Amino acid sequence: MSAVLTNPLRVGLRQERIIPAQCIVIFGASGDLTQRKLIPALFELYRQRRLPSEFAVLGCARRPWSDEEFRSRMAEALGDEIAGHGHIWEGFAAGLFYEPADLANPVSIVALGERLEQIDRLRATRGNRTFYLSVSPAFYGSGTRALAAAGLLDDPDRTRVVIEKPFGTDYPSAQALNKVVQACAKEKQIFRIDHYLGKETVQNILVLRFANTIFEPIWNRNYISNVQITAAETVGVEERAGYYESSGALRDMVQNHLTQILALTAMEPPGRFDAEAIRNEKAKVLQAARLAHRSEPWKCCVRGQYGPGGSARSPIPGYREEPGVNANSTTETYVAMKLFIDNWRWQGVPFYVRTGKRLPKRLSEVVLTFREAPVHLFDAAGGAPTPNQLILRIQPDEGADIRFEVKAPGSGMRSRPVDMAFSYDESFGEPSDEGYVRLLADAMLGDPTLFTRSDEVEAAWRLYTPLLELIEDAPWQLPVQPYEARTWGPAAADVLLADDGLVWRRP
Ligand code: BG6
């Protein structure tokens, strides 16, 4: 969480839209996401004075907590965030309520409706409701159905439902889930959340591309030779083996976060800046994307799993030794793959995508590498000039770099690569928000621009279907290859690029 309440620069720089009177109902209120992300994000909005006074949070879970107990647990979860802001916390906490409820039990959802009406009267929230499903994905369909059956989604202008990832586990299950939720609510009420789209730097891909004239003319196959998209994490599976064992990196990171970054990087300019225009272009580019070897997917994908690593003083357990992980698990904690986008802009340009846990650095970035100069006039450090690169630093150290050759000082005419760097921190002097701050605000405002539409989700799952089927039906063709914790993944991932005469960027 960013600790930022009163930075006047920050307030001044923003043109915030006003969130209307609102009750946000969080299912899964006793869970990790609520405590680590949702409540801190709502508190941050409150501190930024972006929540109206007619505001309430209703936490729902099976535990029989009282309002008071919920408040004190959320205060505990916020810890240092509220130290020194006691009075602000008190104002926020007055709007926190709790109701034991079970999405699997329609009767309890009907009772919830009554509690919501009480809250409407008490807090003047006027029937504006955002239902946030931070529950096991098994309940996304039935939970939305229970809300609809209780009449809680009847008003398409005042009610909406936010659905966490993963939205389905493959193409058919995503299609089926879309059918269920679309039978309960209008598409404009359904907010499929991908927290990467809440990151400033991910949104900045759009601004950088479409608010400048220097990039877009060269943003295509004539100038760009390849694109690398990386999301590296230092953490392991943490306490999430129960979920991760059946998900793996492909479903956990690639199908959603990395594919969204790919879509923003590769999409055509939208005709206007609105939700439908942007999502149309993202859906189109995903429909044109394909694995580099569709019928032999093992040739364009590498799966890895971290083994033990670290040092004698601070050893890191391997994935199979993590609590809750099967000792023979074949779940991947690393994926690298090569994709193509079959359209006029990108035909023939490889997009390499990789993500992994327990890598040496936490870092997400997009690297666009430009074609080499046709003639090398100068001696270059390393023999040949480094191709120009545009590096979009998603996190941490948010910003962008342009790498180009300059004359190295001295009497000769040797060239050397340098970086021209833009840093969010240096230019704006403020840390960027957690994605959830932005996305919760947008959901409450009913703005779906940064949420994933049904056709996008389906296109993303369809893209990876050949891989998912292979892992299911012939896993020996795409085995998980071990890599030592704190290294950059299995050697085969390097070979994937070496075969094309390339290397992964080592930041
Ligand atoms: C989540 C994944 O969606 O994103 C996690 O489930 C992953 O496995 C996390 O660690 C990464 O998010 P961020 O914002 O820390 O890059």
Read off the pLDDT of residues 244-264 as tens digits, 9 standing for 90 and up.
Answer: 999 999 999 999 999 999 999
pLDDT of residue 473: 94
pLDDT of residue 15: 57
Q: Say yes or no: 313 and 429 in one domain.
A: yes
The beta strands (E) that lie in 386-469 are given as 389-395, 399-407, 414-423
CATH number at residue 248: 3.30.360.10
Radius of gyration of the chain (CA): 24
The residue that leads in pLDDT, 15 or 288, is 288
Question: How many whole angstroms from its chain centre is CA 414?
Answer: 42
What is the distance between the alpha carbons of residues 67 and 57, in angstroms, rounded to a whole number? 11
Taking all residues of the chain, what is their mean pLDDT, rounded to a whole number?
93
pLDDT of residue 37: 94
Q: Say yes or no: 373 and 289 in one domain.
A: yes
For the record, the structure tokens of 41 come out as 């994000």
> Residue type for 381, please?
A
- Atom 15 of ligand 1, residue of closest alpha carbon: 233
What is the distance between the alpha carbons of residues 495 and 499, in angstroms, rounded to a whole number? 6
- The last residue of one of the domains, among 141, 164, 187, is 164
Atom of ligand 1 nearest to the CA of 362: 16
CATH number at residue 31: 3.40.50.720
Q: Say yes or no: 100 and 155 in one domain.
A: yes
Q: Say yes or no: 220 and 140 in one domain.
A: no
Atom of ligand 1 nearest to the CA of 257: 3
Residue 387 falls inside a structural domain: yes
* Test site for ligand 1: of 134, 195, 199, 362, most ligand atoms within 8 A of the Cβ: 195
Residue 325 falls inside a structural domain: yes
Q: Say yes or no: 153 and 242 in one domain.
A: no
Bridge partner list, 61: 100
pLDDT of residue 381: 75
Burial label for 23, CB within 10 Å (0-12, 13-18, 19+), is: buried
Ligand 1 lined by 102 (C-beta under 6 Å): no
Residue 477 falls inside a structural domain: yes
Atom of ligand 1 nearest to the CA of 395: 16
Q: Say yes or no: 83 and 201 in one domain.
A: no
Q: Say yes or no: 143 and 58 in one domain.
A: yes
Helices 39-47 and 86-93 cross at an angle (nearest 10°) of: 110
- The last residue of one of the domains, among 140, 164, 188, is 164
Q: Say yes or no: 204 and 151 in one domain.
A: no
Give me ligand 1 centre to Cα 333, in Å: 12
Q: What is the mean pLDDT of residues 223-249?
A: 96
Q: Say yes or no: 160 and 224 in one domain.
A: no
Residue 106 falls inside a structural domain: yes
pTM of the model: 0.94
Strands 389-395 and 399-407: antiparallel
Give me ligand 1 centre to Cα 126, in Å: 35
Q: What is the mean pLDDT of residues 85-104?
A: 91
Residue 93 falls inside a structural domain: yes
Residue 14 falls inside a structural domain: no
What is the distance between the alpha carbons of residues 112 and 118, in angstroms, rounded to a whole number? 10
pLDDT of residue 507: 78
pLDDT > 70? residue 5: no
Q: Which of 156-160, 304-308, 377-381, 475-479 has the lowest mean pLDDT?
A: 377-381
CB 287 within 8 A of CB 275: no
Q: Which tens digit of pLDDT belongs to each residue from 118-157?
A: 999 999 999 999 999 999 999 999 999 999 999 999 999 9
Share of the chain above pLDDT 90, in %: 85
Tally of domains within the chain? 2
Q: Which tens digit of pLDDT belongs to each residue from 49-94?
A: 999 999 999 999 999 999 999 999 999 988 887 777 778 999 999 9
In the sheet where 159-163 sits, what is the strand order?
A: 96-100, 55-61, 22-27, 129-133, 159-163, 190-192
CB 320 within 8 A of CB 329: yes
Give me ligand 1 centre to Cα 257, in Å: 9
Q: Say yes or no: 243 and 358 in one domain.
A: yes
Q: Say yes or no: 210 and 149 in one domain.
A: no
Q: How far apart are the first and last CA of the chain?
A: 25
* Test site for ligand 1: of 164, 253, 255, most ligand atoms within 8 A of the Cβ: 253
Ligand 1 lined by 398 (C-beta under 6 Å): no
pLDDT of residue 106: 83
Q: What is the mean pLDDT of residues 6-29?
A: 72
pLDDT of residue 433: 72
Give me ligand 1 centre to Cα 77, in Å: 19
For the record, the structure tokens of 410 come out as 């001295």
pLDDT of residue 385: 82
Nearest Cα neighbor of 502 from 375, 349, 279 is: 349
Give me ligand 1 centre to Cα 146, in Å: 29
Ligand 1 lined by 252 (C-beta under 6 Å): yes
Q: Backbone dihedral region of 324: left (phi > 0), alpha (psi from -120 to 50 degrees) or beta? A: left
Share of the chain above pLDDT 70, in %: 96
**Which band of pLDDT confidence, cut at 50, 70 and 90, is reported for residue 236?**
very high
Domain coverage including residue 144: 19-164
Ligand 1 lined by 233 (C-beta under 6 Å): yes
Q: Which tens digit of pLDDT belongs to each residue from 387-435?
A: 999 999 998 989 999 999 999 998 888 899 999 999 999 999 876 677 8
Q: Say yes or no: 130 and 202 in one domain.
A: no
What is the distance between the alpha carbons of residues 27 and 112, in angstroms, rounded to a whole number? 11
265 CB-near residues (< 8 Å, 6+ apart):
205, 227, 229, 366, 368, 392
Catalytic residues: 257
- The last residue of one of the domains, among 145, 164, 183, is 164
Nearest Cα neighbor of 205 from 226, 224, 221, 219 is: 219
Atom of ligand 1 nearest to the CA of 435: 14
pLDDT > 90? residue 4: no
171 CB-near residues (< 8 Å, 6+ apart):
458, 461, 462, 465
Strands 22-27 and 96-100: unpaired
Q: Which tens digit of pLDDT belongs to each residue from 431-480?
A: 667 789 999 999 999 999 999 999 999 999 999 999 999 999 999 999 99
For the record, the structure tokens of 416 come out as 């050397």
The residue that leads in pLDDT, 315 or 83, is 315
pLDDT of residue 431: 66
Residue 105 dihedral angles phi and psi, to the nearest 5°: -120, 100
Question: How many whole angstroms from its chain centre is CA 15?
Answer: 24
Residue 447 falls inside a structural domain: no
Atom of ligand 1 nearest to the CA of 233: 10
